[in-house]
Amino acid sequence: MRKLSVFLLLLPICLLVSASCQPETNSLPSSLAIINGNKACSPIDHIILSMHGDLIKHCPEASQLLSNYDGSAEAANDIFQCCFLRQANQQRWELKDTYAYKREELFPYFAELGMTETVYPSSTEYDVIFIHGTTVPVMRIYFNFLQEIWAQGVRAKSIVLLTGRRKLDPVRDSDALMFDEQVAGVPFRIDWERPEEPPAYESDAMIMIWDQMILDDTLHALTPTLIDAPQICDVKHKTCKRPNTRSTVTTWLENNPKPGKYLAISGNPFINYQDATMRIELEEAGLFDEGATLETVGPARPSITSTGIYLDNLARWIYTVYQHTLSNND
């Protein structure tokens, strides 16, 4: 049996869903009133318990899953995968915010899980800074965060852009957002020249925006390594989907990188999920055994982030950690 990954011990303990969770109200069905409940519920337990009636209403399979809920990580994963995960090939911004009316009630639990606030680096010297790919407006947020911490003295030997062949969305990644300085809301370099053809993919846009908006000449001179992950294709079903966090990291690992002190830039509510995903891949590649370290940081969540996006991301985070736990216990 493989030794349990050290990183799981360092994840917020609230991810290890309590099997002895005492509901704070007696109005919940007895199937959710876990026995031996002297310990406080974890945030994940609280989310499930507080949404019992809502899940029954909106998720057809919820009734059976809730009746079997025992506070275990497996049971929590089943509920989140079934009821909160967006559909295949559906983008985050396409999610219907079904549970918007629960935002005020759920937000303290998201905060307790570390999904809402800005996270800053713990050091100033790194070997590599990674920036996770995303939509054009959020790329600018991530690059602005990089410029902010760079101005505070954070340094790295190289920059890696973890991105890939996601076709740009005509609304979320519009030409105006890419090329109009007023719409973009950030100053462009005076020496930047607009390309003859607009970018078609996220990877093309990301390297262009780096060149366009990184104002510090020392930082700009660190020509980034572009990881242009291919689409993920299912040959049997003749379907393809965009690259994801895992596939961009595994594409980078194909270059047989040296272990180092790594800093990754994401943004909440995605920081912990992307950290867990990247950490698992680095562990599988043996880089931690060779002395690598990883820290993931980024800006606070935008106020417009929907409740559905929080829940979808939490479903992905729980699944990632749970599956890794299973593989370590095989």
pLDDT at residue 33 is higher than 50: no
223 and 203 within one domain: yes
167 and 214 within one domain: yes
Q: Report yes or no on 324 lying in a domain.
A: no
pLDDT of residue 23: 38
Q: What is the pLDDT of residues 80-125, one digit of tens each?
A: 988 888 776 666 666 677 777 888 999 999 998 889 999 999 999 9
The total of structural domains in the chain comes to: 2
139 and 32 within one domain: no
Q: Report yes or no on 327 lying in a domain.
A: no
171 and 39 within one domain: no
146 and 76 within one domain: no
Q: What is the pLDDT of residues 36-49, one digit of tens each?
A: 233 446 888 889 88
**Model-level pTM?**
0.85
Q: Report yes or no on 13 lying in a domain.
A: yes
Q: Report yes or no on 147 lying in a domain.
A: yes
269 and 145 within one domain: yes
- Determine what percent of the chain is predicted with pLDDT higher than 90: 56
Q: What is the pLDDT of residues 121-142, one digit of tens each?
A: 999 999 999 999 999 999 999 9
Look up the domain containing 178 and give its range: 125-300
133 and 81 within one domain: no
pLDDT at residue 210 is higher than 80: yes
272 and 192 within one domain: yes
86 and 39 within one domain: yes
Q: Report yes or no on 138 lying in a domain.
A: yes
Q: Report yes or no on 313 lying in a domain.
A: no
Q: Report yes or no on 330 lying in a domain.
A: no
Choose the final residue of a domain: 115, 145, 167: 115
Q: What is the pLDDT of residues 166-199, one digit of tens each?
A: 999 999 999 999 999 999 999 999 999 999 999 9
34 and 101 within one domain: yes
169 and 92 within one domain: no
Q: Report yes or no on 320 lying in a domain.
A: no
Cβ atoms 213, 188 nearer than 8 A: yes
Choose the final residue of a domain: 115, 146, 181: 115
Choose the final residue of a domain: 115, 138, 173: 115
219 and 98 within one domain: no
